[in-house]
Amino acid sequence: MKRLQGDLGIPIFRKRGRGLALTEAGEIALSYARRILVLNDELLDTTQGANVAGHIRVGCPQDFALILPSALSHFALLYPHMQIELHIEGNTALVDAVDKARIDLAVVIGHEDHANAQTVGQLNLVWIAAATFSPPHERPLPLAVMGPQCIFRRRALQHLEAANIPSRIAANSPSLNGLSAALLGGLGVTARTALNLPEGLVSAESLHSLPPLGSLAVTLHRHARSDGVAADRMASVLVKALDLILQSKPKTKAVARLRNGVVDRIRKT
């Protein structure tokens, strides 16, 4: 530390009681030191990774599929000889695949109570519908949903039931593209994340005065036998990519609420 302070020509420590504290210059030096360590780690990863070969299987739900290009590009730069197998599936299916060692690690929405789950952050849920959609008067609320195991579907039904709002399944699709088509066709509303909404759809936490859905945990699941530097680095790359998305808090595309009383009438049916 004395040598560094001498090289810089300015004090980087000051007395604080019986100890020392960083000066403003010391804080700056610390930030540079941390960046140097990160660069050092990346250099080691890149040079050592060039000799790592093998096969890694990664899973991701459709909602987060768009994080994969940047994450995979970074991983391929570090480990150019690794073969990557990708699985885009539902959250429950991904957890099951990790448990049965069909894949090595997976990003999952929900399932934070699972034994090997590492919580990465929270994802806000919203109601989504076509911009032209209007809830029916004095009839059950039509829903467009994915399969019975879908965590978004379960959350929507739970909150509607708690708010005494009757509903019915108007459209069902195993894929996110099919779900978007049903919504754009005006078949109903759905509960999901506001990430990557197609044009023509709007979203809000209380769209059409529906009850807020809260948030779900985003978790990383990894099989116990999926060890090694490549699996460690893939997990790290995925977590960093998720951090960027979760911190960005995508803006919802909201529309004006319907006239007062529409949802009240739905509740009474």
The percent of residues above 70 in pLDDT, for the chain, comes to 84
Q: Give the tens place of pLDDT for each residue, 32-88.
A: 888 887 777 666 665 555 556 688 999 999 888 877 888 888 888 888 888 899 999
Torsions phi, psi for 149 (to 5 deg): -85, -5
Overall pTM > 0.85: no
Q: DSSP label at 160?
A: H
Task: Indicate the fold that domain 56-120+223-245 takes in CATH.
Answer: D-Maltodextrin-Binding Protein; domain 2 (3.40.190)
Nearest Cα neighbor of 253 from 210, 176, 197, 211 is: 197
User: What pLDDT digit, counting tens, does each position of 231-247 carry?
Assistant: 888 888 888 888 888 87
Measured in degrees and rounded to the nearest 5, phi and psi for residue 252 equal: -80, 155
Query: Helices H, strands E: what count in the chain?
Result: 8, 12
Residues in the chain: 269
Element (H, E) at 61: none
**Residue 69 identity:** P
In one-letter notation, the amino acid at residue 193 is T
pLDDT in tens, 101-126: 999 999 999 899 988 889 999 999 99
Gap between the terminal Cα atoms of the chain: 74
- The mean per-residue pLDDT over the stretch 128-133 comes to 95
CB–CB of 213/126 below 8 Å?
Answer: yes
In the chain, where the domains are located: 2-46, 56-120+223-245, 124-215+252-268
Domain topology for 124-215+252-268: D-Maltodextrin-Binding Protein; domain 2 (3.40.190)
Model pLDDT for residues 9-47, shown as the tens digit of each residue: 778 778 887 777 888 887 888 888 888 877 776 666 655
Q: Are 56-120+223-245 and 124-215+252-268 the same fold in CATH?
A: yes
